[in-house]
Amino acid sequence: AALGATPRPLAGKRIIVTSGPTHEPIDPVRYIANRSSGAQGTAIAAALRDLGADVTFVTGPASVPPPDGVDIVRVETARDMRDAVLNGLPAEAGVFAAAVADWHVANAAERKMKKDGSGKAPALEFAENPDILAEVSGMAAGRPALVVGFAAETNDVVAHATAKRDRKGCDWILANDVSEGTGIMGGTENEVTLISAEGPEVWPRLGKDEVAKRLAARIAEALT
Ligand code: CTP
Ligand code: CA
């Protein structure tokens, strides 16, 4: 390589990254969303790209723009995100940073819901969405060698995230405390603990870009 050239340890490696919120329709003009900006997933995709990876970026309707130099697949619902992820396989690694809605509206209306003058509010029914991280982690054939999930918690962060890692069967979980007052949800910084089979490793509070670079470097180490 030329003097000063950036090393590209992930050259030739395919990595899927999910990011952003999902939108779950109530009717054609209304939906249920969450506060994810997509900032952390976007930074991770960019950091993996910078190390040479071929990144497929499956994103819900995020408020930050997607990175350049990645394959962008835009989705709206969790069910669409699942299909896009399965279509994006095989890959050497998957990083599941999306804030996937846990439920969709089972009785979503095909036409705009109208007030009927009775003063009664409609009742929404919910059905559970597919768990993309658990499904990919559990694949009998074609599972990525490294599957990384996130766990946004508001209390007992390491205990909840460790249980989540066991339950879903992923290799690593990046856990964080998103309680109000931490400024993480929608902010520029993150404070994560990497939980692997070796246990928890606490990272300092860093910019989301720095968290992304650190994670990308760890992924490069694990895949090479
Ligand atoms: N995830 C996913 N598909 C879902 C829900 C979550 O792929 N339907 C992924 C997220 O992208 C994240 C991880 O699973 O990497 C953990 O998400 P989280 O919401 O913390 O986990 P849940 O199992 O939904 O548990 P909780 O009841 O705490 O929300
Ligand atoms: Ca959830």
DSSP letters along the chain, please? Answer: --TTPPP-TTTT-EEEEEESB--EEEETTEEE--S--SHHHHHHHHHHHHTT-EEEEEE-S-SSPPPTTSEEEE--SHHHHHHHHHHH---SEEEE--B--SEEETT--SS-----SS-PPP---EEEPP-HHHHHHT-SSS--SEEEEEEEESSSHHHHHHHHHHHHT-SEEEEEE--TTS--TTSSEE-EEEEETTEEEEPPPEEHHHHHHHHHHHHHHHH-
Give the number of the ligand closest to the Cα of residue 16. 1
Strands 54-59 and 14-19: parallel
- pLDDT the model gives residue 182: 84
Q: State whether the beta carbon of 91 lies less than 6 angstroms from ligand 1.
A: no
- pLDDT the model gives residue 1: 53
The answer to whether 114 is a known ligand-binding residue is: no
- pLDDT the model gives residue 5: 76
Give the Å distance between the CA of 157 and the centre of ligand 1: 14
CA of 99, closest atom in ligand 1? 11
Q: Which of 82, 133, 164 to mutate to test the pocket of ligand 1 (most atoms within 8 A of CB)?
A: 133
The answer to whether 171 is a known ligand-binding residue is: no
Cα–Cα distance measured from residue 94 to residue 137, given in angstroms and rounded to the nearest whole number: 9
Q: Which residues of the chain have pLDDT under 70?
A: 1-2
Query: 174: Cβ–Cβ under 8 A, 6 or more apart, which residues?
Result: 148, 149, 150, 151, 192, 193, 194, 195, 211, 215
Copy the structure tokens of residue 211: 């968290």
- pLDDT the model gives residue 100: 98
Q: State whether the beta carbon of 172 lies less than 6 angstroms from ligand 1.
A: no
Distances from the Cα of 212 to the Cα of 3, 26, 99, 118, 189, angstroms: 25, 34, 16, 52, 11
Give the number of the ligand closest to the Cα of residue 136. 1
CA dihedral 191, 195, 196, 200 (to 10 degrees): 100
Q: Which of the following is catalytic: 34, 155, 176, 190? A: 34
Cα–Cα distance measured from residue 176 to residue 190, given in angstroms and rounded to the nearest whole number: 8
**Sign of the four-CA dihedral 24, 89, 133, 201:** negative
- pLDDT the model gives residue 201: 97
- pLDDT the model gives residue 6: 78
Q: Catalytic site residue 34?
A: yes
The answer to whether 126 is a known ligand-binding residue is: no
* Ion ligand 2: residues, CB < 5 A: 102
Cα–Cα distance measured from residue 146 to residue 93, given in angstroms and rounded to the nearest whole number: 5
Omega of the bond leading into 90 within 30 degrees of 0 (cis)? yes
- pLDDT the model gives residue 2: 61
Give the Å distance between the CA of 2 and the centre of ligand 2: 45
Q: State whether the beta carbon of 102 lies less than 6 angstroms from ligand 1.
A: yes
